[in-house]
Amino acid sequence: MKTIDQIAAELQGYDPKALSAERVNDFLARLVEPVTATEEVGVFEALDRTLAADVVSPISVPPHDNSAMDGFAFDSQLLKPGQPLKLRVAGTAFAGKAWAGALGADQCLKIMTGAIMPAALDTVVPLEFVKIEGDAVEIPPGVVKAGDNRRLLGEDLMAGQPALRKGQTLGPAALGLIASLGLPTVMVFRRIKVAYFSTGDEILTLGEPIREGAVFDSNRYTVFGLLKRMGVDVIDMGVVPDEPALLEAAFRTAATQADAIITSGGVSMGEADHTKAMMKQLGDVAFWRIAMRPGRPMAVGRITEAGKSSVLFGLPGNPVAVMVTFLAFVRPALQRLMGGAATAPVLLQAHSLEPLRKKPGRTEYQRGIVSKAADGSLTVRITGNQGSGVLSSMVEANGLIVLHHSQGDVCVGDSVDVMMFSGVV
């Protein structure tokens, strides 16, 4: 396990007082080590879990050539360019069992979607394309060509080949794929546990009476929602005041119970509280000033207790900054911790509907509303006030406009990157 100093030495241009957003993810990819413990779960319990081993297909899918639609199956060698094809119907093949009859040279087979294709037949003409007269059909010229509307054996998956790869997160389609292979269980990495708490004497827990200078805690509920969307086990440790003994107890408890710890507040440079000191005392921690807006201060490292280490993410106190730093940095790191790939958020291209002021030398994340224009392209406008404490703007937004480190002002119509919230926030 590498120390903070060893990781920092590997990164060219690393400067904790002026760290680029790109460098943050490079650092976290080296800091976070994936869990290794695995468990076997049923398909219904596997949603959003991370595969711990390749899923190898025990069968071919489909297991036989079959019809892709309702129609008439025939031998394509009978087709003549520019001429209609007249055939007699020898019978009907239904899905679920093989047709047991025999076909003559000028015959076809009425066939239902999913029914097994007899070996001598290779093409299906849809019902709506043919003329039917009694027990005969006429196929007009040019409506089908050889091999049309036939699904081939193993077209989706071949027996013995990997159907899903280790490290993949299992979504609804993957669950269906596993079930289609006849597999009732799948091997996944164990769920990670993430503990989180807010810090500060000014933070009120819901139900407490309002007092002057205090604010209700929103960060815990935001972080809870973000973590639940990731499918991790969450440990809510409430609000911890700026008292050394209470902070120490919270960090020690979190380190013994969780794989990762997330805090909000108390990591700003020159902060007059005890959170930073306690992080340093109990672990190997780096304090950063990231060249970004919002979310400049952040702490990362490890807290160790009773021989067990937990990854630490000390986030800023402002509500929007908490969400932005989580989406940009913490979420990819937790994906790696869960055994998956530490993938950066997917960015789409949209045209800005308004000018945006931006200083080169930092990455900015502005709350945006992405829409589709009449020509099908994406457009985006900001939600208004971009202050890091304006949480209502995150509710209004459906994505973040990502203005990169070296980027300057944006003019109307310019293309910008957007990080969509769908399925994440």
The correct CATH number of 66-151 out of 1.20.1250.20, 2.40.37.20, 3.40.250.10, 2.170.190.11 is 2.170.190.11
Q: What percent of the chain has pLDDT over 90?
A: 85
183 is written with which tokens? 């597999």
Contact 261, 313 (CB under 8 A): yes
The correct CATH number of 39-61+155-189 out of 3.90.400.10, 3.40.470.10, 3.90.950.10, 3.90.105.10 is 3.90.105.10
Residue range(s) in the chain whose domain bears CATH number 2.40.340.10: 347-420
Check whether 198 has a pLDDT greater than 90. Answer: yes
Task: Give residue 425's pLDDT band: very low, low, confident or very high (50, 70, 90).
Answer: low
Check whether 260 has a pLDDT greater than 70. Answer: yes
Contact 265, 317 (CB under 8 A): yes
Residue among 137, 14, 2, 5 nearest 70 (CA)? 137
Q: Which residue has the tokens 């209609």?
A: 84
Per-residue pLDDT at 389: 77
Average pLDDT for residues 323-348, to the nearest whole number? 90
Q: Say what the alpha-carbon torsion angle 40, 43, 49, 54 is, to the nearest 10 degrees.
A: 70
Per-residue pLDDT at 344: 73
Higher pLDDT among residues 386 and 9, named by residue? 9
Tell me the residue ranges of DSSP E strands in 270-414: 283-289, 292-293, 297-305, 308-315, 347-352, 363-372, 378-382, 399-403
Residue among 424, 421, 419, 398 nearest 346 (CA)? 419
d(CA 55, CA 337): 21
Per-residue pLDDT at 342: 65
Check whether 205 has a pLDDT greater than 90. Answer: no
Average pLDDT for residues 125-154, to the nearest whole number? 96
Per-residue pLDDT at 206: 86
Check whether 376 has a pLDDT greater than 80. Answer: yes
Average pLDDT for residues 211-237, to the nearest whole number? 93
Handedness of CA 298, 293, 226, 266 (dihedral sign): positive
Residue range(s) in the chain whose domain bears CATH number 3.90.105.10: 39-61+155-189
Task: Give residue 268's pLDDT band: very low, low, confident or very high (50, 70, 90).
Answer: confident
pLDDT tens track for 81-136: 999 999 999 999 999 999 999 999 899 999 999 999 999 999 999 999 999 999 99
Mean pLDDT across the chain: 93
Check whether 276 has a pLDDT greater than 90. Answer: no
d(CA 186, CA 183): 7
pLDDT tens track for 12-71: 889 999 999 989 999 999 999 999 999 999 999 999 999 999 999 999 999 999 999 999
Assign a CATH topology to domain 347-420: Beta-clip (2.40.340)
Q: Which residue has the tokens 């993430």?
A: 194
- Choice among 171-185, 232-246, 259-273, 366-380 with the minimum mean pLDDT: 259-273
Check whether 274 has a pLDDT greater than 90. Answer: no
Average pLDDT for residues 340-350, to the nearest whole number? 84
Check whether 174 has a pLDDT greater than 60. Answer: yes
Say which DSSP state 209 is in: P
Check whether 350 has a pLDDT greater than 90. Answer: yes
Check whether 270 has a pLDDT greater than 60. Answer: no
Residue range(s) in the chain whose domain bears CATH number 3.40.980.10: 4-37+190-337
Per-residue pLDDT at 345: 80
Alpha carbon distance, N-terminus to C-terminus of the chain: 32
Architecture (CATH level 2) of domain 4-37+190-337: 3-Layer(aba) Sandwich (3.40)
